[in-house]
């Protein structure tokens, strides 16, 4: 079993009720086109619906994979044990954290 931690700070944007008004053009081989059309027909979708669904699913998985950290239980337990130990002060890191910021961060 694995432990996961979502490191996202913002939700992924979703289409919701937004009207589709943008166009993406793709080039495919005749073989790829035939395969896509066959798959779309089997799902009773237009080619556009099929391609948008497939692209959105892949995009969401890609973003989710980058936001999530997965550790095996043994590694997770070791990490937790290490984090529970008292830490050591690192003066250079403390100076960096306390340095005035040029940009205002959202609160």
Structure tokens at 71: 């550790």
Distance CA 15, CA 80 (A): 38
* Weakest-pLDDT range from 3-12, 19-28, 40-49, 53-62: 3-12
| Number of domains comprising the chain | 1
Residue 105 inside a domain? The answer is no
pLDDT tens profile 67-106: 888 889 999 999 899 889 888 889 999 888 888 877 777 7
38 vs 6, more confident: 38
Q: Is the pLDDT of residue 3 over 60?
A: no
3-class state of residue 2 by DSSP: strand
Give the CA-trace dihedral at 77, 80, 84, 89, to 10 degrees.
130
- Taking each helix axis from N to C end, the angle separating 30-42 and 47-67, rounded to the nearest 10 degrees, works out to 90
Distance CA 53, CA 45 (A): 10
- Supply the mean pLDDT for the chain: 85
Please give the pLDDT value at position 30.
97
3-class state of residue 90 by DSSP: coil
Q: Is the pLDDT of residue 10 over 90?
A: no
Residue 12 inside a domain? The answer is no
Domain that holds residue 37: 2-7+21-98
């Amino acid at each position: 079993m694995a432990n996961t931690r979502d490191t996202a700070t913002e939700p992924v944007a979703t289409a919701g009720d937004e009207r589709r008004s943008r166009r993406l053009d793709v080039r495919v081989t005749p073989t790829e086109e035939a395969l896509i059309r066959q798959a779309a027909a089997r799902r009773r979708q237009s080619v556009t619906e099929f391609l948008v669904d497939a692209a959105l699913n892949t995009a969401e998985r890609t973003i989710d994979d980058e936001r999530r950290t997965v550790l095996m239980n043994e590694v997770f337990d070791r990490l937790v044990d290490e984090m529970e130990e008292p830490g050591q002060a690192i003066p250079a890191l403390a100076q960096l954290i306390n340095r005035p910021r040029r940009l205002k961060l959202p609160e």
